[in-house]
Amino acid sequence: MEIAENVRANLFVSVHINSAVNISATGVEVLVCSAGGKASQCASLVLQQLVSSTGWINRGVKIQNVLVLQETSMPAILTESGFLSNYSDSSKLKDAAFIQALAVSHAKGICSYFGIPYTVKGVTNVLDTVVLLNTKEDYWAGADVAIKNDNCLISLRNPDGSIQEDVMSARKLIIVGGKTVNHPNEVLLSGKTKYDTAAAVAKHLG
């Protein structure tokens, strides 16, 4: 920890995965040494992004005087994303796209803490909101969703199921039909049947 004490950094972030005797334990949490202050502010912002991107239970910001936080001279947080002891969590943590979403969530929370915009390297025009359709048959619902969201762009999944890079880099992704793509700011309007999807869309449209 001598390095962390001497480096002139504005923030220290330690990224971890949790574990517990209770195999049903799940969720995300962020640890700090003490309540209040800059560390707690950052912890709340990062936690908000992690919950949004994973859909996991919010276990809150917790005070734990662990060594990795105690021995730093700058604001410091420790994130716990999911539980290796939980089969569902550990399965998701093996997925590269999910890991990427976790990384982006950390970055977005940190950017928010410093009051700077999150940008994607190599992407100059980041789309604000995109409606992603699973198939062409979902257009009837997707068009209404796009209108509600300021006539935003509508995109269609590629035949192989992949998603275009500019769509994945959008600030908000609304999925109509189909499964999650683990976008860090995703709204999933889908169900097991087209009727379930229609119900989800209707609820979104209000």
Give the other-Cβ count within 10 Å of 24's Cβ: 10
Give the other-Cβ count within 10 Å of 82's Cβ: 25
Distance CA 71, CA 110 (A): 21
CB 202 within 8 A of CB 146: no
Nearest CA to 190 out of 176, 202, 204 is that of 176
- The two tokens of residue 100 are 């990427």
Residues making up the chain, counted from first to last: 206
Distance CA 144, CA 142 (A): 5
Q: Please give the single-letter amino acid code of residue 157.
A: R
- The two tokens of residue 174 are 């609304």
- Exposed (0-12), middle (13-18) or buried (19+): which is 115, by Cβ within 10 Å? exposed
Catalytic pick among 80, 137, 165, 186:
80
CB 108 within 8 A of CB 118: yes
71 is catalytic: no
Enzyme catalytic residues:
80
